[in-house]
């Protein structure tokens, strides 16, 4: 296991260095710079733009900028976000927890519900209820994310006014609430975006897990358990489920980067201040420091997610452990 971890860590370090370098080159060769928007403003003269670029060092040769970026990175200086008018560290410190809250809630709910639904569908294979739930899952999976989000927004926030339209907190009342009140306020705002994402995750996971369960249920050890008189629930949960978790664990590992990356459409429609939209805006605004810091953190999480998935799969399935 230690060898597996060390080998994955070394691979991850190389991948992260490559991704960061590639991102640096690509964002700098793309047309424009953080001050491109001012090109559309006749009052911003060439001199002003030149001064602005010089102040941030964007007038220097690319290799020199790269070395400077690496040196700053070594000192954990991530720079200034031009799109947020804040230090990048501060932007990440505010955005990453928001994204983690949204995505962890959504993925957690989605995984649990998806596994439960997939297990239930496998146990009732061929029944009318299984076919109906399968069709519903497929429908949810096929529907574009933004359509589901807009539908939920229209019904729950606008028509029935049960939940807030957008944001993460009430812009007026939040600060004056008690701690419990603030938590409840965040929860109210979380329900629609997290619910939308959870619905889609549930649908996807249930499809995978149903197939995995159907592959495991005819196995001999399941038949043996049944022959020994183990209850059907215990057969499903204790024996079949654990052996069918491999694909779900792999999916969960692959979803780990999304915990950081967020969900652009859902964040946009519900105004959730997460990393997904932040990164899209940063790329659009050529906010070099924020883009690079986000890519760096994102690639670390991708590597970490892959490693965690491998380890979990090894823990869950002795055959995988043996192969490693």
Partner 1 sequence: MRLDTVGRNARAAFGLVSLLAAACGEGAGRGGTIVIATAQDPDGLLPATYETREARVVGELLFDRLAERGPALNTVGDVGFEPRLARRWEWSRDSLSVRFHLDPRARWHDGRPVRAGDVRFAFLLYTDPAVASRLGGDLREAMDSISVSDSLTCTAWFRTRTPEQFNTLVTTLAPLPEHLLGGVRRDSVRTSAFALAPVGSGPFRFVKWEPRQRLEIAAVESFYRGRPVLDRVIWSYAPEMSTLVQKLFAGEADFFDMVPPPSVPEAASHPDVRLLPRGNFDYSFLQLNLFDGPSERPHPLFADRALRRALAMGLDRRALVRSLFDTLGHVLAGPFVRAQWSADTSLAQLPFDRAAAARTLDSLGWRVGPDGVRTRGGRPLAFRLLYPASSTNRKNMSVLIQEQLRGLGVRVELDGADNNAFVARGRARQYDAYFGGLIATPSPSGIRQTWTSDAAKPGGFNTGRYLNTAFDAQVDSALNARDVASAKAYYRAAYRIINEDAPAIWLYEPPQVAGAHRRLRTGPLRADAWWLDIPAWSIVPGTRLSRDSAAAP
- Binding residues (CB under 8 A) for partner 1: these are 30-32, 36-48, 51-52, 55, 80, 84-86, 91, 94, 150, 153-154, 157-158, 161, 164-173, 175-176, 267-271, 273, 277-278, 281, 284, 286
Least Å distance, CB 263 to partner 1, is: 13
- Residue pair 177/206 in contact by the 8 Å Cβ criterion: no
Say if residue 128 is exposed, middle or buried (CB neighbours under 10 Å; 0-12, 13-18, 19+). Answer: exposed
What ranges in 46-126 are assigned the alpha helix state H?
A: 46-56, 62-74, 88-123
Judged by beta carbon, residue 39 or residue 139, the one nearer partner 1 is 39
Neighbours of 127 (CB within 10 A): 11
Judged by beta carbon, residue 86 or residue 226, the one nearer partner 1 is 86
Judged by beta carbon, residue 85 or residue 323, the one nearer partner 1 is 85
Query: In this structure, which long-range contacts are made by residues 160-164, counting pairs with CB atoms below 8 Å and at least 24 apart in sequence?
Result: 163/188, 163/189, 163/191, 163/192, 164/188, 164/189, 164/192
Judged by beta carbon, residue 79 or residue 305, the one nearer partner 1 is 79
Least Å distance, CB 34 to partner 1, is: 10
Least Å distance, CB 246 to partner 1, is: 38
| CA–CA gap between residue 51 and residue 34 (Å, rounded) | 13
Neighbours of 4 (CB within 10 A): 14
| CA–CA gap between residue 5 and residue 307 (Å, rounded) | 7
Phi–psi pair at 304, nearest 5 degrees? -65, -40
Least Å distance, CB 139 to partner 1, is: 23
Judged by beta carbon, residue 38 or residue 250, the one nearer partner 1 is 38
Structure tokens at 63: 């290799």
Give a three-class secondary structure readout of 74-87: HCCCCCEECCCCEE
- The H or E element spanning position 15 is helix 2-29
Least Å distance, CB 317 to partner 1, is: 43
| CA–CA gap between residue 258 and residue 264 (Å, rounded) | 10
Judged by beta carbon, residue 7 or residue 36, the one nearer partner 1 is 36
Least Å distance, CB 60 to partner 1, is: 16
Judged by beta carbon, residue 287 or residue 310, the one nearer partner 1 is 287
Least Å distance, CB 269 to partner 1, is: 5
């Amino acid at each position: 296991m230690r060898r597996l971890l060390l080998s994955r860590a070394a691979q991850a370090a190389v991948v992260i260095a490559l991704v960061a370098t590639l991102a640096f080159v690509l964002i700098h060769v793309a047309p424009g710079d953080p001050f491109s928007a001012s090109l559309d403003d006749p009052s911003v003269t060439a001199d002003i733009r030149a001064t602005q670029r010089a102040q941030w060092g964007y007038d220097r040769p690319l290799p020199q900028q790269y070395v400077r970026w690496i040196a700053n990175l070594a000192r954990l200086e991530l720079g200034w976000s031009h799109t947020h008018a804040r230090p990048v560290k501060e932007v990440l410190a505010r955005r990453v927890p928001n994204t983690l809250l949204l995505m962890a809630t959504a993925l957690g709910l989605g995984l649990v519900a998806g596994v439960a639904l997939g297990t239930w569908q496998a146990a009732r294979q061929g029944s009318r209820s299984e076919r109906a739930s399968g069709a519903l899952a497929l429908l949810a999976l096929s529907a574009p994310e933004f359509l589901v989000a807009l539908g939920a927004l229209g019904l729950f926030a606008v028509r029935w006014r049960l939940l807030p339209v957008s944001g993460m907190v009430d812009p007026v009342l939040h600060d004056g609430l008690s701690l419990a009140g603030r938590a409840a306020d965040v929860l109210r705002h979380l329900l629609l975006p997290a619910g939308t994402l959870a619905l889609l995750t549930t649908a996807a996971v249930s499809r995978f897990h149903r197939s995995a369960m159907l592959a495991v249920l005819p196995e001999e050890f399941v038949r043996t358990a049944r022959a020994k008189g183990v209850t059907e629930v215990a057969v499903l949960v204790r024996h079949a489920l654990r052996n069918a978790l491999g694909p779900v664990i792999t999916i969960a590992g692959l979803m780990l980067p999304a915990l950081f990356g967020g969900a652009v459409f859902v964040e946009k429609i519900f105004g959730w201040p997460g990393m997904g939209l932040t990164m899209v805006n940063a790329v659009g605004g050529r906010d070099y420091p924020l883009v690079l810091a986000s890519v760096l953190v994102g690639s670390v999480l991708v590597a970490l997610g892959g490693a965690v998935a491998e380890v979990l799969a090894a823990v869950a399935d002795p055959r995988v452990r043996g192969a490693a």
